[in-house]
Amino acid sequence: MPVITTPASSFIDGSWVEGTGETTSRVNPAAPDEVVTTYRQAGPQELNQAINAASAASRAWDRLGVVARGRILSTAAALIRDRADEIARVMTAEHGKPLAESRLEVDASADTFDYHAGSARNPVGTEYPSSHPEERILTVRRPLGIVGVITPWNFPLQIPAWKIAPALLQGNTVVWKSASHTPGVSTLLMDVLATAGVPAGVANLLLGPGSLGSELVSHPAVAGVTFTGSVPVGHHIRGIVCGRGAKLQMELGGHNASIVLPDADVDLAASSIVNAAMGSTGQKCTATRRVILVGDGHDAFLDQLRDRVAALTLGPGTDPATQIGPIISASARDEVDAAIDQAVHEGGQVLAQATLPASDGYFVAPTLLTGPTSMTICREEVFGPVATVLHADTVDEAIELANATEFGLTAAVFTSDERTARRCVTDLDAGIVKVNAPSTGSELHAPFGGMKNSTFSGPREQNSAAAAAFFTHEKTAYLRLAPEEA
């Protein structure tokens, strides 16, 4: 069995630490006989070490001041850019996404560190008038303390960057339980942070299973938790964290709709929707899962959609011709295939399907379905390259259909009528609504987050200027001068 020697290890108090848990291997999803890395999982003992280290490092990191912390984040951004090829190669080997997509993610992660580094010089509080002539009233922000970070594998660098960069900038220390499928990328990020000058104990990484994440969020010393992942795990975490009164931020799953009006630009709508539904092998929380056609006159659009899906090229992420890489694991492949079978069993029809490569890799054929809205796939998140075409007579009906799931992450509408576009922005239950653009993709300086079960109804922003609101406590200081001496 070929082994690509990507190192992966937990990192605690400034040192690489071999865990005391099970030995685990991560294989290349495009070639499962290749082991990308082997490591020992962290367990409760390493969790306690990490919490103790984060606690001991807290005071000095806070005292260092925000401008100095910003400089360290800026160095981290530069190091990510210097090592971009290496990080992208490991990402593609572990995750499967095409190398070009891995490169884009690495660049966006460097931008995220730069963005937060730049905000180190933003104003830190507000001054209010006082009824007392010799008094000033100021708000100040203080770090939460230890922040627990739990991340998914689908954006193994970008999502951690969204969370860790602002958490550190605001003076918190971090214990990060990263996703089990992408340990090499997490290890590289910790290496970058340590090299950039993040002091020992300030940022700690635990490579471990979901159960370790549960222990992390339950720990009484963890003052804030930021989580991105699925709805069931998110709700489990919400129960624990809210139950003990700590601060929580979550971004969860989606079941995003793209509404297409008869006046839509056909090329733009078809290319955007195929990209949003099938790109990254459909493993984006913001992926289009339902395509809702309003009224009649969609023959040209449907022809294009079918042709584009059928023409997608699958293969290993290292092949420049590959548009769609493998899915993350054998079990994920089986779940997606089972969901397609179930849809067909429930009255669905396959409108188009791409060709599978001759490979032992974990490949799923990108699939376009149609069928009754009662199909399970119309309401449950299937994390793979599958989208279902549905029909609505009116815009009202389309909006009602789009809103008819527990999720509310993103939505898109394709139309040349501004009135319809505005209506959709107002009435769609989604935290992000795109007009004439894919449901995927976001800018790191704009608020990101969902509604309904796609989020937690607390501060939603992890990647905008408002990140400071989550990663700090705001205090109000009343500063009154002592009486002057006579």
Can you give the binding site for ligand NAD, defined by CB under 6 A? 150-154, 177, 179-180, 210, 213-214, 217, 228-230, 233, 236-237, 251-254, 285, 381, 383, 409, 450, 454
CB 177 → ligand NAD: shortest distance, Å? Answer: 6
CA distance 418 to 424: 10
CB 183 → ligand NAD: shortest distance, Å? Answer: 11
CB 237 → ligand NAD: shortest distance, Å? Answer: 5
CA distance 304 to 249: 40
CA distance 154 to 152: 6
The tokens describing 369, both together, are 């379905």
Burial 449-462 (b: 16+ CB within 10 A, else e): bbbbbbbbeebbbb
Which residue has tokens 């190091």? 79
CA distance 187 to 207: 9
CB 228 → ligand NAD: shortest distance, Å? Answer: 5
CB 39 → ligand NAD: shortest distance, Å? Answer: 14
CB 383 → ligand NAD: shortest distance, Å? Answer: 5
Distance set, CA 56 to CA 193, 254, 271, 428 (Å): 18, 38, 52, 47
CB 409 → ligand NAD: shortest distance, Å? Answer: 6
DSSP assignment, residue 465? T
- Evaluate whether 370 touches 348 at the Cβ level (below 8 Å): yes
The tokens describing 271, both together, are 């290319």
Nearer to ligand NAD, 20 or 355 (CB): 20
Nearer to ligand NAD, 364 or 421 (CB): 364
Residue 312 one-letter amino acid: L
Nearer to ligand NAD, 191 or 381 (CB): 381
- Among residues 242, 285, 378, 424, the one annotated as catalytic is 285
Nearer to ligand NAD, 70 or 254 (CB): 254
Nearer to ligand NAD, 75 or 381 (CB): 381
Nearer to ligand NAD, 154 or 367 (CB): 154
Distance set, CA 102 to CA 12, 324, 369 (Å): 27, 12, 28
Which residue has tokens 């002539």? 133
Nearer to ligand NAD, 46 or 251 (CB): 251
CA distance 193 to 328: 26
CA distance 389 to 406: 19
Cβ neighbourhood burial of 466 (10 Å; 0-12, 13-18, 19+): middle
CB 153 → ligand NAD: shortest distance, Å? Answer: 5
Nearer to ligand NAD, 415 or 463 (CB): 463
Q: Is 285 a catalytic residue?
A: yes
Helix or strand or coil: residue 288? strand
Phi-psi region of 389 (alpha: psi -120 to 50; beta: other; left: phi over 0): beta
Distance of CA 150 to the CA centre of its chain: 10
Nearer to ligand NAD, 41 or 173 (CB): 41
CB 450 → ligand NAD: shortest distance, Å? Answer: 6
Q: Which helix (H) or strand (E) holds 184?
A: helix 183-196
- Evaluate whether 180 touches 21 at the Cβ level (below 8 Å): no
- Evaluate whether 280 touches 97 at the Cβ level (below 8 Å): yes
The tokens describing 444, both together, are 């790191």
Write the DSSP string, 198-262: PPTTTEEEE---HHHHHHHHH-TTEEEEEEES-HHHHHHHHHHHHHTT-EEEEE----EEEEE-T
Catalytically annotated residues: 285
